[in-house]
Amino acid sequence: MPPFASLHRTFVAQAERQPDKVLFELPGERNITYGETARTVRRIAARLVADGVTPGDRVAMQVEKSPEAIALYLATLQVGGVFLPLNTAYTGTEMDYFLDDARPRVLVCSPERRSEHAHREGGDLAVETLGTHTDGTLLNDPASPELHEAHEVSADDPAAILYTSGTTGRSKGAVLTHGNLASNCQALLTAWQFTEHDRLIHALPVFHVHGLFVAANMALAAGASLHYLTKFDTETIIDLLPRATVLMGVPTFYTRLLKSERLTPQACASMRLFVSGSAPLLASDHEAFEARTGHAILERYGMTETGMNTSNPYQDGPRKPGTVGLPLPGVEVRVVDPESGTSLPDGEIGSIEVRGPNVFTGYWQMPEKTASEFRADGFFITGDLGRIDEDGYLCIVGRGKDLVISGGYNIYPKEIEALLDAHPTVLESAVIGVPHPDFGETVVAVVVPAPGQDPQEAELLRFIADDLARFKHPRAVKVVPELPRNVMGKVQKAELRKQYASLFPTA
């Protein structure tokens, strides 16, 4: 496939080449072709322009997963807009922050949540709705016009903003360009030999890099088909395996699939590739999956700010459990001393840094934060810790950043600590991640009572509920007389993680 500059243009080319090919197969429901999707994209594009969207304007989306959500993404790119997908779990308080910061021209929300956003409307913001059955204001006029022209974009133009929480507790919008998305998609198509003949099981959410810019982009660009599921369900996936070729998921997908007796070599007979990422896959799960199915899961490593950086080989080399493989074509990866920034010899643990056409341009309206995360020679400091093994494979050994990854969702302790500390019975808190049998890691809050107070778990959880998406809620609250500190007075989270490591017994 020749190099491409825009995901929208590449999709349009596929839709013109094979209009009748099924793009979305919705199990037990409808099938939607490339041609039908292209028409929906053009209708939404016309609607966005009517709402006042001009190139560079942000289009925010907080909707349940549907094929039309992907059409909205493509329509935004068509008109030169900047797509801003938001997790459906975000509460009103969280939405206030993102919308104030990104100042979108249009917010597309679920019809059921329309009233929550009524107060935002007017002025510079238009609110549209989109349901899961083509309902909602965005598509409610069957005779609505179609926009055929596409805004001419360059590789450096912004295509999307994805919020990713910072160590400071404030979420930062990572601005990804058309060039970032296109180059990463192309590198993955080549690395994983993905073609129009693939049938990908898509069970990830479409508001993060994994589901949108890895899974969906690859299928759209290659002209492949999606078994498109609104959410992960073990038995539905196993039902679909015999009609699919590729599955992409977070480690929790594989932990759950392994629990089913129906996961057999026969069930996987038509599959050629299982991909895992977003969080570490346990080497024991990798090995158990291979023993059970004959397939070695291909683990890769990425970040919101960079898309995918490294991948275990599709062929020409082993897929090594516990590693995230080799740099993708065009991507440079190095392990350096975190203080001096000098490269370390292979085998030594240091800070992982990356450079390449996949790396974002910066955080939305945060030039200083952006500058502090890049080296002078253009390498981006990922905040992950790793080493390069004897075969050149990258192994992630930990995180320099204070981050919990639960079922593939990133959770920043600082955000939760700030909320807990505001409760009158709490003097201070430390939020940590501990091993969890289903989510890989889960959140535990350790709190110290304010003088004379007796913090109650249920009350604390109620107190933070409105301000925090459900997946970020601590699964346990522990009350302790004081937090362990080092001589500098810094809370020793490693000590706490050790202390509570067996709270949720794994295997």
**Residues making contact with ligand MCA (CB under 6 A):** 204-205, 208-211, 231-232, 250, 252, 277-278, 302-304, 406-409, 439, 470-471
* Pick from 241, 39, 243, 65: nearest CA to 142: 39
b/e per residue 395-415 (b: at least 16 CB within 10 A):
bbeebeebbbbbbbbbbbbbb
Interface region with ligand AMP, contact rule CB under 6 A, candidates 7-15, 16-24, 106-114, 271-279: 271-279
Q: What residues have CB less than 8 Å from 237, skipping those under 6 apart?
A: 201, 203, 229, 247, 253, 257
| Residue 216's binding partner out of ligand AMP, ligand MCA, none, with CB under 5 to 8 Å set by partner kind | none
Q: Tell me, letter by letter, the H, E, C secondary structure of 63-125.
A: CCCCHHHHHHHHHHHHCCCEEEECCCCCCHHHHHHHHHHHCCCEEEECHHHHHHHHHHCECCE
3-state secondary structure of 289: helix
| Nearest approach, Cβ of residue 187 and ligand AMP (Å) | 16
According to CB under 6 A, which one of 81, 111, 136, 302 is a site residue for ligand AMP? Answer: 302
- Decide if residue 324 touches ligand AMP (CB under 6 A): yes
Closest contact distance (angstroms) between CB of 172 and ligand AMP is 10
Please, which residue, 67 or 280, has the CB nearer to ligand AMP?
Answer: 280
Q: How far is the CB of 348 from ligand MCA (least distance, A)?
A: 24
- Alpha carbons 288 and 291: distance in angstroms, whole number: 5
In the block, residue with structure tokens 């992960």: 232
In the bound state, the residue with its beta carbon closest to ligand MCA is 407
Nearer to ligand MCA by Cβ, of 301 and 364: the residue is: 301
Name the phi and psi angles at 358, rounded to 5. -80, -20
DSSP-derived letter for residue 474 is -
Q: Which is nearer to ligand MCA, 127 or 297 (CB)?
A: 297
Classify the phi-psi angles of 170: left when phi > 0, otherwise alpha if psi is within -120 to 50, otherwise beta.
beta
Choose the one of ligand MCA, ligand AMP, none that binds residue 210, judging by a C-beta under 5 to 8 angstroms depending on kind. Answer: ligand MCA
Kindly state the smallest distance separating residue 224's Cβ from ligand MCA, in Å: 19
Residue 407 binds: one of ligand AMP, ligand MCA, none (C-beta under 5 to 8 A by kind) = ligand MCA
Q: Return the number of other C-beta atoms located less than 10 Å from residue 68's C-beta.
A: 27
Question: From the CB of 84, what's the least distance to ligand AMP, in Å?
Answer: 15
Nearer to ligand MCA, 151 or 436 (CB): 436
Residues that bind ligand AMP (CB under 6 A): 164, 209, 277-280, 299, 301-304, 324, 382, 384, 396, 399, 405, 410
